[in-house]
Amino acid sequence: MTKKALITGITGQDGSYLAELLLEKGYKVYGVRRRTSVPILENIKHIENEIELIEGDLLDLSSLVRAVQVSNPDEVYNLGAQSFVGTSWNQPIITGQVTALSVTNMLESVRIVKPDAKFYQASSSEMFGKVVETPQKETTPFYPRSPYGVAKVYGHWMTVNYRESYDMFTCSGILFNHESPRRGIEFVTRKISDAVARIKLGLQSELRLGNLDALRDWGYAKDYVECMWLMLQQKEADDYVIATGEVHSVKEFCELAFSHVGLSYQDYVVTDPKFFRAAEVDLLLGDPSKSIEKLGWNPQKTTFKELVHLMVDQDMERIRQYKSQYNVLGK
């Protein structure tokens, strides 16, 4: 029988890769999509005819109940969120409503309509925040440093609580930063790869960044969504850290990205206090031992260098196409 999956956040980076993966595996894929005045379906345009989109908003419980009724899923992946840490200081209440409380909306929808569906919650290394222990693993205490991180802690514990209260199959994936050419443009890696392409092709002269010393454990989103699926294929529901176990600074990301196109980052990167955070997370480094052992996760599937290069290459290609279109139009 064809398995059915429901994905919230299907238009985002992870949702789009996960939808592709599940289609490859023969799933019928449903996605919750909120109404916007201009539909932004860039990440899923190429699979739009293979998936079924259900109108809904994470803030609207009734729409989520309906989404679970319509899709009758075997697996639910709750990836939707206000996911940008920087914005969470500017919009702390919306972040709390969307990133925290809506997890309960999703859990309730599943509990009421399809309690035997397996549930994945997109938790985050931002829950660790301030360094209490390094590398960080499933048992490391949380100390979130942003409204976003605080919201994710709530979502994580509600997921654990529904497992313990109702014996539901609910998993929390504590994923460290993962990037790709589909990453939103305001996140630092994509901001860098996009700027490198624009600078190389003569459309931009400098790149303004915040804290260059921040250290992150960066992996490739396409590899990480496979772990989400693997978590729901286990006998028992559990929580897992997904990370590479390697740490790099924003500065290192810049160095590699600029040098890939023959440029030196020192010539273009300008530090701008506008991009400093109210409370910074200095270091995130994951210990993926449990997921290696239990899920067969390979943390080096895509290396840091390969990740940087593939992001820059894709942005170079995109900006080149944009430029040639622009030239053809004679503007």
Residues labelled as active-site residues: 124, 126, 148
198 or 216: whose CB is closer to ligand GDR?
A: 216
Rounded to a whole number of angstroms, the minimum distance from the CB of residue 58 to ligand NDP is 4
Name which position in 53, 210, 290, 314 contacts ligand GDR (CB under 6 A).
210
What's the rounded Cα separation, in Å, for the pair 61 and 69? 12
Nearer to ligand NDP, 98 or 196 (CB): 98
- Interaction residues for ligand NDP, span 34-53 (CB under 6 A): 34, 36, 40
For helices 221-231 and 13-24, the axis angle rounded to 10 degrees is: 60
Dist CA 142 CA 131 (whole Å): 9
Q: Does 251 bind ligand GDR (CB under 6 A)?
A: no
Q: Are 236 and 174 in contact (CB under 8 A)?
A: no
The one of ligand GDR, ligand NDP, none whose footprint includes residue 216, by CB under 5 to 8 A per kind, is ligand GDR
Site string for ligand GDR, 102-131 (x = CB under 6 A): ----------------------xxx-----
Cα angle 143, 237, 294 (rounded to 5 degrees) comes to: 85
Q: State yes or no: residue 89 binds ligand GDR (CB under 6 A).
A: no
- Closest CB to ligand GDR among residues 262, 273: 273
Tokens of 238: 């559990």
Residue 85 engages ligand GDR in binding (rule: CB under 6 A): yes
Binding mask 94-113 for ligand NDP (x = CB under 6 A): ----x---------------
Contact present, 229 and 18 (Cβ < 8 Å):
yes
| Cα angle value 156/159/160 (rounded, 5°) | 90
Contact 242, 175 (CB under 8 A): yes
Binding mask 56-85 for ligand NDP (x = CB under 6 A): -xxx-------------------xxxxx--
Q: Does 11 engage in binding with ligand GDR (CB under 6 A)?
A: no
- Taking the complex as a whole, how short is the minimal distance between the CB of residue 250 and ligand NDP, in angstroms? 14
Contact in structure between 49 and 19 (CB atoms under 8 Å): no
Closest CA to 23 of 53, 1, 51: 51
The entry of ligand GDR, ligand NDP, none that residue 40 binds, CB within 5 to 8 Å by partner kind: ligand NDP
Are the beta carbons of 243 and 125 closer than 8 angstroms? yes
Segment lying near ligand GDR (by CB under 6 A), choices 18-26, 161-169, 211-219, 225-233: 211-219
Structure tokens at 252: 């290192």
Q: Identify whether the C-beta of residue 320 lies closer than 8 Å to the C-beta of residue 200.
A: no
Amino acid code (one letter) for 149? G
Q: Considering only residues 152-171, where is the footprint of ligand NDP by CB under 6 A?
A: none
**How far is 268 from 75, CA to CA, in rounded Å?**
46
Stretch that binds ligand GDR, among 195-203, 205-213, 258-266, 305-313 (CB under 6 A): 205-213
Strand pairing partners for 248? Answer: 216
**Exposed / middle / buried, residue 35 (Cβ in 10 Å: 0-12, 13-18, 19+):** exposed
* Residues of the shown chain interacting with ligand GDR in the complex, contacts defined by CB under 6 A: 83, 85-86, 124-126, 176-177, 186-189, 191, 209-211, 214, 216, 250, 275, 277, 280-281
* Residues of the shown chain interacting with ligand NDP in the complex, contacts defined by CB under 6 A: 8-9, 11-15, 32, 34, 36, 40, 57-59, 79-83, 98, 122, 124, 175, 177-178, 184
